[in-house]
Chain A
Amino acid sequence: MIIDAKTLSPSETIETDLLIIGAGPAGITIAQKFAGTSIRVILLESGSESYNYTAQDLTRGTITGIPAEPLDASRLRLFGGTSNHWAGWCRPLEKEDFEVREDWPESGWPITLNDLNPYYKTATEICQLHSHIFDDIKYWQSEPGGQNLKKIKLNDRRLLTNIFQISPPTRFGEAYHQKLKQASNIRVIFNATALELLLSPNSSINSSIKTISGAKASTLDKTEFTVNARVTVTAVGGVETSRLLLLSKKVCPQGAGNENDLVGRYFMDHPWLRSISYLRFHKPGTNWPLYFDKTKIANTRIFATLSPAPELKKTNHIGGFRLWLQPSRVSSVGVDSARTIINDLKQGQLPDNLDEHIANLYADAGTLADVAYKSLFMVRNSPFGQKTDPKSPYLGSFIDLNIEQQPNPNSRLTLDTPLDSFGQRRIKLDWQLNNTDWHTATTALNTVAQEFGRINVGRVRVPLEGDKPNWPPLITSSNHHMGGARMATDPKRGTVNAHCRVHSVSNLYIAGSAVFPTCGYANPTLTIVALSLKLADHLQEVLS
């Protein structure tokens, strides 16, 4: 059933077996697994079914270090959580992402890909994908609509073609609304913001292993209530997980689970360099549908990216990455921006977002030079003055790059000084990249330039040079918040164990990407869902 916290009595205490805080992909995945069982479940959602500014404002925070997307824009506080603006890119992590690497600090998950594989299969169903098969090109070629899909013949000791499936995308709140509403053992409570976790009266703050009683929560108009639960799961995302733990000082003075000063540390995202490189084709009209188009196979679209072979990572001591191609006819972001500026200037005005247009010109200097040359000498109708013919051949392709960030204790989330509407400290993200991250980015671009040169399809412009990090101004995050409560067998190296249970709290679990010890290059949602399914299985054992 679904209720609004406003209907609860002030200071009411709710008793349940399982408390899940956060109704995003992780929380909903776990809750729906318990539908129809004898386990009583409370699922708290800070927002409701529609966007609410007051709830959303709770996500606001400060960012220092490398510029990331604003925290109140990258996450959503409503039923279904951030899946409500999810783009839907899905792919499991690679086998080696789970393994220990001698040259990769803090690498190695306490679980393997094999442990997660059965859950990945179910996760593809939950995310409404066509198949649990990803990289078998023959499989996709045999499906209706997949006949023209071919891999680029690259050296597979350097670059691999890896296929992503795009979820419809699943809006978890909509997709699982009925199932949760109809389950008599589940109560979804909207407008219920968890303020802090509470220590059990039977436990001591000085115990090495504590027990919590549940959480204190509040409606947006400050009516507080308590949920007592045998087991609590926080499923509030890669940023709020650290915040809720750090705010829970009744469990531990440094924050719940923070006995070893690890909560908030090792924050990771996938640094994103948009259109960082440009491949100029020798022959106009080169077309790679698998990489250029999001080919529709049944209800799922698929496309391929280029990622490093394990040997390339090992030899160069780099992380994972993915490069994806965005074909260009003549027009490009730079050309479009130049056209906008020229047209506006002709009318005696400047475009509204001039700084963005100038950034586009800067990022696209190579293509602009090409176009300018053609405008002056070769082409009668300059691209500046005409619209691109959608049937004209591709002349090249922009290359986007996402890299795997190396775990870094100094890349961290902490509580900030400003307070939210509940009087609680907001979050501060200090996103830090290191020399290895830079090396991963430059190696990725040089490798793709090398490979496209080797197969002689054209030449690639690589604007990053040098051994020292010198990130371009257009770098941003991918809204993939990971880490902050990492998983490790040793409590001194991680906040949660292999079952996602907080080491120092016997009945507190964390669901979501906050537990990722390393992040690979794949988008995190499919892994979040798979891990949540695994956690749900474990919780069923614990609670029964």
Chain B
Amino acid sequence: MNPFKYPQSLSQASLNRRSFLRTSVCISLTIASGNILASSDVSIEQLSKTKLISILNVNSSITIGQVILEDPKHRHEFSSPLPSVMNKLDISSDSLSSITRKELSTRLKQQTIRDFDMGHIVNVSGWVLGHTEAKLCVLAAQSSTFPINRD
């Protein structure tokens, strides 16, 4: 028997195709705008989540976060991302208000580089992302009912 399966066995095809295309568009969009951590133009002081999310390209991040949450492989690991993200970025609820968005963005960028260095990466519909940036995307998806600004 020929062990080669053609072509429906391609793992990419076994992924949710719609999610794959959606993620590809969003990765392209967020990366094209600088990187996945690119700042949006929003300037808001709201809840901790909202402040963290504000350093992302929001629409794209929500979509990537939704794709992660829809994937049974990742759903559990990424279900409660806020404590982990705050820990990774070395911030507390108290200190968050005094940290600028630029500083947050810098910390996230440094943490993402550390994530890649340590192999803390996740494959989201084919795209390889750092854990912390992926968790932030999940945070954005979970918070998407909040009245946050969209760029």
**Residues in chain A within 8 A of chain B (CB atoms):** 64-67, 155, 280-284, 362, 365-367, 369-370, 372-373, 395, 432, 446, 449-451, 453-456, 458-466, 469-473
A463 contacts which of B2, B6, B7, B11 (Cβ < 8 Å)?
A: B11
Contact A463-B121, Cβ < 8 Å, known A456-B112, A470-B11, A473-B7: no
| B127 interfacial contact with A, CB 8 Å | yes
Query: How far is it, in angstroms, between the C-alpha of A442 and the C-alpha of B13 when the chains are bound?
Result: 16
B116 contacts which of A64, A362, A453 (Cβ < 8 Å)?
A: A453
- Residues of chain A within 8 A of B109, CB atoms compared: 456
A26 to chain B, nearest CB (A): 31
Q: Which of B1-57 contact A (CB under 8 A)?
A: 2-7, 9-12, 20-22, 24-25, 27-29, 31-32, 34-36
- Residues of chain B within 8 A of A454, CB atoms compared: 113, 116-117
B36 contacts which of A283, A446, A459 (Cβ < 8 Å)?
A: A459
Give A473's nearest chain B residue, CB to CB: B7
Query: How far is it, in angstroms, between the C-alpha of A281 and the C-alpha of B21 when the chains are bound?
Result: 18
- Residues of chain B within 8 A of A432, CB atoms compared: 3
- Residues of chain A within 8 A of B3, CB atoms compared: 65, 432, 469
A520 to chain B, nearest CB (A): 25
- Residues of chain B within 8 A of A362, CB atoms compared: 7, 10
Contact A366-B24, Cβ < 8 Å, known A373-B29, A473-B7: yes
Give A359's nearest chain B residue, CB to CB: B7
B73 to chain A, nearest CB (A): 9
Q: Is there contact, CB below 8 Å, between B9 and A370? A: no
B121 to chain A, nearest CB (A): 6
| B99 interfacial contact with A, CB 8 Å | no
**Residues in chain B within 8 A of chain A (CB atoms):** 2-7, 9-12, 20-22, 24-25, 27-29, 31-32, 34-36, 109, 112-113, 115-117, 119, 121, 123, 126-130
Q: Is there contact, CB below 8 Å, between A459 and B127? A: yes
Q: Is there contact, CB below 8 Å, between A462 and B4? A: no
Beyond A370-B24, A461-B126, 7 additional contacts (C-beta under 8 Å) are: A366-B24, A369-B24, A370-B32, A454-B116, A460-B128, A461-B27, A470-B9
Query: How far is it, in angstroms, between the C-alpha of A283 and the C-alpha of B4 when the chains are bound?
Result: 39
Q: Is there contact, CB below 8 Å, between A463 and B112? A: no
Give B13's nearest chain A residue, CB to CB: A362
B56 to chain A, nearest CB (A): 14
Q: Is there contact, CB below 8 Å, between A472 and B2? A: no
Query: How far is it, in angstroms, between the C-alpha of A423 and the C-alpha of B121 when the chains are bound?
Result: 58
B123 contacts which of A395, A455, A462 (Cβ < 8 Å)?
A: A462
Pair count A-B, CB < 8 A: 113
- Residues of chain A within 8 A of B129, CB atoms compared: 453, 459
B111 to chain A, nearest CB (A): 12
Query: How far is it, in angstroms, between the C-alpha of A450 and the C-alpha of B123 when the chains are bound?
Result: 11
Q: Is there contact, CB below 8 Å, between B12 and A463? A: yes
A459 contacts which of B6, B34, B128 (Cβ < 8 Å)?
A: B128
B121 contacts which of A446, A455, A472 (Cβ < 8 Å)?
A: A446
Query: How far is it, in angstroms, between the C-alpha of A370 and the C-alpha of B41 when the chains are bound?
Result: 23
Of B12, B109, B123, most buried by chain A (CB within 10 Å of CB) is: B12
Q: Is there contact, CB below 8 Å, between B126 and A366? A: yes
- Residues of chain A within 8 A of B27, CB atoms compared: 280, 366, 459, 461
Q: Is there contact, CB below 8 Å, between A473 and B31? A: no
- Residues of chain A within 8 A of B10, CB atoms compared: 362, 463, 470, 472-473
Give B128's nearest chain A residue, CB to CB: A449
- Residues of chain A within 8 A of B28, CB atoms compared: 280, 366, 369-370, 373
Contact A461-B25, Cβ < 8 Å, known A67-B4, A454-B116: no
Q: Is there contact, CB below 8 Å, between A280 and B11? A: no
A282 contacts which of B20, B34, B115, B119 (Cβ < 8 Å)?
A: B34
- Residues of chain B within 8 A of A462, CB atoms compared: 123, 126-128
Query: How far is it, in angstroms, between the C-alpha of A365 and the C-alpha of B6 when the chains are bound?
Result: 18
A300 to chain B, nearest CB (A): 35
Query: How far is it, in angstroms, between the C-alpha of A155 and the C-alpha of B28 when the chains are bound?
Result: 26
Give A284's nearest chain B residue, CB to CB: B32
Q: Is there contact, CB below 8 Å, between A472 and B7? A: yes
Give B7's nearest chain A residue, CB to CB: A473
Of B29, B116, B128, most buried by chain A (CB within 10 Å of CB) is: B128
- Residues of chain A within 8 A of B4, CB atoms compared: 65-67, 471
- Residues of chain B within 8 A of A463, CB atoms compared: 10-12, 126
Would you mind naming 5 contact pairs between A and B with Cβ atoms under 8 Å apart? A362-B7, A432-B3, A463-B126, A471-B4, A473-B6
A459 to chain B, nearest CB (A): 6
- Residues of chain B within 8 A of A451, CB atoms compared: 116
- Residues of chain A within 8 A of B34, CB atoms compared: 282-283
Q: Is there contact, CB below 8 Å, between A369 and B36? A: no
Query: How far is it, in angstroms, between the C-alpha of A156 and the C-alpha of B122 when the chains are bound?
Result: 22
Give A471's nearest chain B residue, CB to CB: B4
Query: How far is it, in angstroms, between the C-alpha of A366 and the C-alpha of B128 when the chains are bound?
Result: 13
- Residues of chain A within 8 A of B121, CB atoms compared: 446, 449-450, 453
Give B4's nearest chain A residue, CB to CB: A66
Give A67's nearest chain B residue, CB to CB: B4
Q: Is there contact, CB below 8 Å, between A369 and B128? A: no
- Residues of chain B within 8 A of A473, CB atoms compared: 6-7, 10
Query: How far is it, in angstroms, between the C-alpha of A471 and the C-alpha of B13 when the chains are bound?
Result: 12
Give B29's nearest chain A residue, CB to CB: A373
Q: Which 8 A-B pairs have the closest CB atoms?
A: A453-B116, A370-B28, A449-B128, A473-B7, A369-B24, A454-B116, A366-B24, A463-B12
